[in-house]
Structure 1
Amino acid sequence: MNETDVVGLVQDMLLDTQDVQDFLDELARFSAESISGPRGRIYCGVTLLRHRSAATVASSNDHAQAVDEIQYQFGDGPCLRSCREGVLVHVRDLDAQNRCGQEDAINLIKSGSSPRNLKLRDIAAAIVESAGGGTVTTHFD
């Protein structure tokens, strides 16, 4: 598909949708499906950054929405960085990139909890829940 084809499809999408919300939802789904391929599935979210607050206004699916929510909790992430700095942020395959030991994982969680005065267990629980691990329980609960 060339650039002219994409422009035509997006124009048709704009004309065929009822309102801006429908258009953005369809654009996010179309973008994710168009870029996904044999190397993996792509997720797409549309982030609105206004007055230093961010919100996802459209996403290709629930996973994209959940990833955006994690960024908002931490106040940082690829989408927020791209919005703030006006740069393209490339996110590599997280499964291959983020394999780390327990000490590295704890240090990453500490770096997210300390400046925000959040408990490590709350940060860890949010990460597990957002990754589809369900509600976190411990033997203390």
Structure 2
Amino acid sequence: MAGDAKKETAAEIGLHLQDLVLDSSDVGEFLNELAAYSAGSLSKPGLSVYCGITVIRRKRALTIASSNDCARAMDELQNTFGEGPCLTAMKEMATIHVPDLRDESRWPDYVHAVGGQGILSILGVPLPLEGETRAALNLYSPEAHGFSGEDIAEAEDFAERISKNLRLALRIAQLTEARNDLAAAMQSRTTIDLAVGAIMAQNRCSQDAAQQMLNRASNSRNIKLRDVAAGIIASISEGSAVHTHFDE
């Protein structure tokens, strides 16, 4: 019976995480909801747990979500000093436990900086992602020895479950970013091509010659090529904006 209850709880967690992904309007909202949900799920009666989620992308650590201001401050101090239990958890891909910050000798600069934050125990649990991107679930307790062996095992199991949803959220964010970059590139290309066409018409020259004129104007004025092109289009179209039309 106990096994069935455990499976049922796991299924409920999975369904809730799916709902978070589907119901969130953007990735940022999902991640903050995920941090709040993680904190609530791992808290115990009479003892609250705070949660932050940190990601390392392109060799830079970023706090992408937190359940409250305290968790965000603890995470950002780690990022500032470049050391701490959660950063170590990501680098070593292993759970890092700090039972009592007052007795901790690792990361001395970080430990000294967080002395007045009201946190006494920390748990950093790595979240397996893809490629070189790494992440960690950062858990904070205001009590010394706030995480028992059972709590640590539960946090590790929970981290494994949410990592799939986090991978999905980050992939959606990357696809959205790539789409936006492509749309911006197409918009710039349209503006430049229209300006080249205008120069060709005004100077009765070839496309290559018109492109060279545009490049020279950009270099001599130290202005981006797209901005020079936009100025040319605005001067001959009474300020009308240029639109790129494509099917999504």
TM-score calculated relative to the size of structure 2: 0.40
Structure 1 position 35 matched with structure 2 position 42: yes
Give the equivalent residue in structure 1 for 2:63: 56
Determine what percentage of the aligned residue pairs are the same residue.
41
- Aligned partner of 1:136 in structure 2 is none
Task: List alignment gaps of at least 5 residues for structure 2.
Answer: 1-7, 119-248
Does residue 112 of the first structure (1) align with residue 115 of the second (2)?
no
Q: Does 1:131 align with 2:120?
A: no
TM-score using structure 1 length: 0.66
User: For residues 86 and 108 of structure 1, what CA distance do their matches in structure 2 show?
Assistant: 17
**One-letter code of the match for 1:40?**
L
Deviation of residue 74 (structure 1)? 2.0
Contact 2:74 2:114 in 1 (8 A): no
The 2-side partners of 1:127 and 1:81 are apart by 16
Select the structure of larger CA radius of gyration: 2
Alignment equivalent of 1:14, drawn from 16, 21, 43: 21
Give the corresponding residue for 2:52: 45
In structure 1, what is the Cα distance between the partners aligned to 2:9 and 2:106? 41
Post-superposition CA distance 1:79-106 (Å, at most 9, x none): 11111111122232xxxx2346xxxx9x
Q: Amino acid of the residue matched to residue 66 of structure 2? A: S
In the alignment, structure 1 segments of 5+ residues that lack a partner are 114-122, 133-141
Higher relative contact order (CA 8 A, sep 6+): 2
Q: How many residues align?
A: 111
2:163 is matched with: none
1:98 aligns with 2:98: no
